[in-house]
Structure 1
Amino acid sequence: MHLSPDEIIYWQYGVIKMSATLVFTWVIMAILVVSAYFITRNLNKKNHHSRWQNALEIIVITINDQISDAGLDKPRRYMGFLGTLFLFIAMANLLTIFPGFEPPSSSLSTTLALAFCVFVSVPFYGIKNKGVKQYLLSYTEPTYFMLPFNIVGELSRTLALAVRLFGNMMSGAMILAILLVISPLIFPVVMSLLGLLTGMVQAYIFFVLASVYIAAASTVSAKASLTLTPPQQKAE
């Protein structure tokens, strides 16, 4: 039993290793890219849509609505990043139905990489929407005394994102392996179905938390909006 797909090495040359985490990460990316290409190459704007196009539209509309519900005014601006996060984690869990597939999301290195992407995207979108000055001032709200606490909170929530996803995925894999040894017929099937459900929930939670963090960094506070409003506009 492997605690992490990082322990499975398919090829090694000196310090360069090709682990299961790397291999299956590229497998997921290839599936997403190829699927997107074949589904979107013949999009029909008329009434008669293919089943794949209908499925794609449902996914896009659902993700768009969830981003909007998180507090982001222009969901399509964040669709590429947040949608890709959700689809990658969801696909990593859905492919576990195939024997031999090792979900990269059960590796701490992968979850840290995903959390780091969120960590970088928060100031990126925050600065893009509010400017450098207003974004940096947001760390001093509501008072300058909160500056060190806000910085620590920014770092700790990134670590929490990574550890939460890694812990849930790894625990599910370990429980399935234990039940496979105890009762190889009934329990593994039930746990596999339960694992698919919990995996989708984890993808949704990671997606929602990333949306909320970006929304918190991108939204201009009431105090800042009053500061940025010209006096003549107030009079109007």
Structure 2
Amino acid sequence: MRLTPDAWIFWQYGFFKLNATIVFTWALMTVLVLGAALITRRLATGHQRSRWQNLLEIVVTAIVGQINDVGLQQPHRYLSFLGTLFLFIAAAALATVIPGYEPPTASLSTTVALALCVLVAVPLFGIWGQGLAGYLKSYMQPTPIMLPFNLISEASRTLALAVRLFGNMMSGAMIIAILLSITPFVFPIVMTLLGLLTGMVQAYIFTILAAVYIAAATRRSKAANAPSSTPDT
């Protein structure tokens, strides 16, 4: 039994390996890109719309609403990044119903890559919203002594994101594999459905946490520089 799709090697030449994580990641991205291109090829603005367009609008509206609920102003500014994160993780979980498929999110390398995307996006959105000087100044709030602690916080939460997603996705895949080997096929089907639900929950949690980190990066300097509401005496 493979612990992660990294152990499934399709091709190897010396140091270079083509494993299931890479293959399924690129296959998943290809399907998402082609699907988005086909759905958005003929968008309609009237009452007559295709079912796929209606589904796409429901998904986009739901993501925008969640971003707005987190507290991010102008949620459409963050839609492309956060929406892509959610759709990739959710699609990776939903595709587990395909025989022979292993979710790339069950690999630590994939979850680390997703967490690093968040690590890079947080300061970029922070600089975009506050300016370079304002964002760098936020690391020394309320005193310059907090600089190393804020930097450690950035690194630790990135590691926590990666390990959280990896642990949940890998454990689900392992449980299903174990049940398939020791029990009839009825019970593993139920566990597969439960795994799909767990995957969607993990996609939601990962995206919401990324949105919370971005919201904190775009607002903490503004809060520190806001004038006091106490009237002068």
TM-score category (smaller protein): over 0.9
Contact kept in structure 2, 1:129 and 1:218, CA below 8 Å: yes
Aligned-pair CA distance for 1:211: 0.4
- Map residues 143-222 of structure 1 onto 2, 5 A cutoff: 143-219=143-219, 220-222=221-223
Contact kept in structure 1, 2:141 and 2:224, CA below 8 Å: no
Aligned-pair CA distance for 1:225: 3.6
Aligned-pair CA distance for 1:182: 1.6
The CA RMSD over aligned residues, in Å, is 1.2
Moved more, 178-187 or 202-211: 178-187
2:23 is paired with a residue whose SS is helix
CA distance in structure 2 between the partners assigned to 1:59 and 1:173 by the alignment = 26
Equivalent residue number for residue 234 of structure 1:
none
Equivalent residue number for residue 94 of structure 2:
94
Which stretches in structure 1 are left out of the alignment for 5+ residues? 228-236
Output the amino acid matched with 2:133.
Answer: K
Which stretches in structure 2 are left out of the alignment for 5+ residues? 229-233
Contact kept in structure 2, 1:134 and 1:224, CA below 8 Å: no
CA distance in structure 2 between the partners assigned to 1:222 and 1:78 by the alignment = 20
Equivalent residue number for residue 121 of structure 1:
121
- Map residues 136-147 of structure 1 onto 2, 5 A cutoff: 136-147=136-147
CA distance in structure 2 between the partners assigned to 1:68 and 1:192 by the alignment = 32
Aligned-pair CA distance for 1:44: 0.5
CA distance in structure 2 between the partners assigned to 1:90 and 1:129 by the alignment = 28
Aligned-pair CA distance for 1:99: 0.7
Equivalent residue number for residue 231 of structure 2:
none
CA distance in structure 2 between the partners assigned to 1:222 and 1:190 by the alignment = 48
**Which of structure 1's runs of 4+ aligned residues deviate more than 6 A?**
none
Equivalent residue number for residue 224 of structure 1:
225
Output the amino acid matched with 1:35.
Answer: G
Aligned-pair CA distance for 1:184: 2.8
Aligned-pair CA distance for 1:221: 2.7
CA distance in structure 1 between the partners assigned to 2:106 and 2:190 by the alignment = 19
Report how many aligned residue pairs link the two structures. Answer: 227
- Map residues 69-80 of structure 1 onto 2, 5 A cutoff: 69-80=69-80
Aligned-pair CA distance for 1:222: 2.7
Identity %: 62
Equivalent residue number for residue 43 of structure 1:
43
CA distance in structure 2 between the partners assigned to 1:214 and 1:45 by the alignment = 32
